[in-house]
């Protein structure tokens, strides 16, 4: 469910009939330990057509509810939620992205686990998706080299309407197809175009976009380039472009290739402008961050956190929670050291109901799991 923005003030629960408890479906999915330390926020959404109605606010005039200790052996009739009304942008109409053809570097097993992700970001777009799976016994290096054969396959499967060929990894995610299309619209697709991010060559983890005129040039030189054994698939595409055309890469900083190792929470919780794509991991408000009155931050679709030191809603310095030691400072900076005292409830499950989604964020603790339930509801 989309996150939101401006508030009309916190008040007693909009859903006053809901008791202070966790329903059986959530308990079964979470496998939580008792006693459960529980809080709930309830957010009711109102749709507006533009940002003039406050849909770009960075704060919510609400605090977390008081912690309640739940006894799962019975029914608790207490009320424990705090509630708020929020304005959000009206969802965009169906988007026509059928001028883009997608090629995926993957294996059969990995493709199967990625289908739900593809279905999410490509829904209601008319996008054509061509998944090529390689035999599972191939070595990873061979798979990377085979990536170049997507050039031939995408060229053969183009239509008169196709303007762009997208080369992607199975571990990447587009947050907004509408934003992606607006980015592509900045380029003249009737001319050779090579667009991505990260450096002197493009990587499929963030998405590689090649216009049809350039794809046609690559197809002409396909056999020669395919026999070049230097580098993996991304490198072979770059070498073919630089060896046989005058086209140079165009950079779009919103396409994220970065392979942040171990804990990438600092990236997701930074409150930066929404990226176009994420590597290794879902709509206009995914990863949108709001600061609550009591210093907590709600990061839609990921976590609820409180830093060990007070931080403003406009703070854009990213917490370096991963192990790369500043490796991505040139693309993600400014950075700050990991906050070892940060409290973090991490999203574990969604429960969908009619006009409503409950998101359960959890801190696992041997003394009793801590749960915050965030209920998003459409008026």
**Residue 211's pLDDT is what?**
97
Give a yes or no: residue 233 inside a domain.
Answer: yes
CATH, residue 221: 3.90.550.50
The mean pLDDT of 81-94, rounded to a whole number, is 70
- In the structure, what pLDDT confidence band is assigned to residue 51 with cuts at 50, 70 and 90? low
Which of 66-75, 116-125, 329-338 is the least confident region? 116-125
- What letters, b where the CB count within 10 A reaches 16 and e where it falls short, cover 83-122? bbbbbbbeeeeebebebbbbbbbbbeebbeebeebbeebb
27 and 81 within one domain: yes
Give a yes or no: residue 63 inside a domain.
Answer: yes
Which of 11-20, 70-79, 80-89, 344-353 is the least confident region? 11-20
Cα–Cα–Cα angle for 108, 109, 110, rounded to 5 degrees:
95
**Residue 340's pLDDT is what?**
95
Give a yes or no: residue 256 inside a domain.
Answer: no
**Residue 134's pLDDT is what?**
35
Whether 132 contacts 173, CB under 8 Å: no
298 and 203 within one domain: no
Pick from 312, 275, 322, 274: which is nearest to 290 by CA?
A: 312
For residue range 313-335, what is the model confidence (pLDDT) as tens digits?
999 898 998 877 667 777 778 99
Highest mean pLDDT, choosing among 80-84, 116-120, 260-264:
80-84
Quick one: tokens of 96? 């026509």
Q: Which of 233, 251, 269 is the last residue of a domain?
A: 251
**Residue 234's pLDDT is what?**
77
Residue 88 pLDDT exceeds 90: no
Give every CB contact of residue 23 below 8 A, 6+ residues apart in sequence: 351
The residue segments making up the domain with residue 346 are: 11-91+286-307+342-378
**Residue 231's pLDDT is what?**
65
Structure pTM?
A: 0.58
Share above pLDDT 90 across residues of the chain, in percent, rounded to a whole number: 24
**Residue 246's pLDDT is what?**
96
Residue 75 pLDDT exceeds 50: yes
**Residue 218's pLDDT is what?**
96
224 and 123 within one domain: yes
Residue 205 pLDDT exceeds 60: no
Give a yes or no: residue 213 inside a domain.
Answer: yes
8-state DSSP, 355: T
291 and 196 within one domain: no
245 and 115 within one domain: yes
Give a yes or no: residue 271 inside a domain.
Answer: no
Give a yes or no: residue 275 inside a domain.
Answer: no
- In the structure, what pLDDT confidence band is assigned to residue 130 with cuts at 50, 70 and 90? very low
Give the total number of structural domains in the chain.
2
For residue range 295-317, what is the model confidence (pLDDT) as tens digits?
999 988 889 999 999 999 999 89
Give every CB contact of residue 87 below 8 A, 6+ residues apart in sequence: 4, 5, 6, 45, 46, 47, 48, 53, 54, 55
374 and 292 within one domain: yes
152 and 18 within one domain: no
């Amino acid at each position: 469910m989309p996150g939101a923005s401006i508030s009309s003030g916190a008040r007693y629960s909009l859903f006053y009939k809901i008791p202070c408890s966790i329903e059986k479906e959530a308990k079964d999915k979470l496998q939580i330990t008792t006693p459960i330390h529980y809080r709930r926020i309830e957010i009711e959404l109102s749709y507006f057509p533009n940002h003039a109605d406050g849909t770009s606010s960075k704060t919510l005039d609400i605090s977390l509810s008081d912690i309640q200790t739940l006894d799962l052996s019975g029914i608790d009739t207490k009320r424990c939620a705090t509630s708020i009304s929020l304005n959000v942008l009206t969802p965009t109409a169906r988007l026509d992205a059928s001028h883009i053809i997608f090629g995926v570097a993957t294996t059969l097993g990995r493709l199967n686990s990625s289908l739900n992700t593809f279905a999410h970001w490509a829904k209601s777009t008319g996008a054509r998706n061509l998944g090529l799976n390689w035999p599972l016994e191939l070595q990873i290096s061979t798979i990377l080299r085979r990536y170049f054969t997507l050039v031939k396959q995408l060229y053969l499967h183009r239509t008169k309407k196709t303007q762009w060929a997208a080369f992607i990894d199975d571990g990447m995610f587009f947050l907004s197809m509408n934003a992606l299309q607006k980015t592509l619209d900045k380029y003249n697709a009737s001319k050779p175009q090579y667009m991505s991010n990260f450096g002197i060559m493009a990587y499929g983890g963030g998405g590689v976009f090649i216009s049809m005129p350039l794809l046609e040039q690559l197809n002409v030189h396909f056999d020669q380039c395919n026999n070049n054994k230097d580098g993996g698939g991304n490198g072979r595409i770059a070498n073919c472009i630089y060896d046989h055309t005058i086209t140079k890469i165009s950079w779009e900083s919103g396409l994220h290739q970065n392979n942040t190792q171990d804990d990438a929470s600092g990236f997701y919780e930074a409150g930066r402008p929404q990226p176009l794509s994420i590597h290794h991991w879902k709509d206009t408000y995914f990863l949108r961050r709001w600061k609550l009155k009591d210093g907590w931050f709600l990061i839609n679709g990921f976590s609820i956190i409180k830093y060990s030191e007070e931080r403003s809603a406009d703070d854009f310095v990213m917490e370096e929670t991963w192990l790369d030691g500043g490796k991505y400072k040139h693309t993600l900076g400014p950075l700050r050291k990991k906050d070892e005292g940060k409290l973090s409830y991490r999203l574990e499950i969604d429960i969908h109901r009619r006009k409503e989604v409950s998101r359960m964020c959890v801190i696992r603790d041997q003394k009793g799991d801590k749960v915050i339930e965030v209920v998003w509801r459409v008026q």
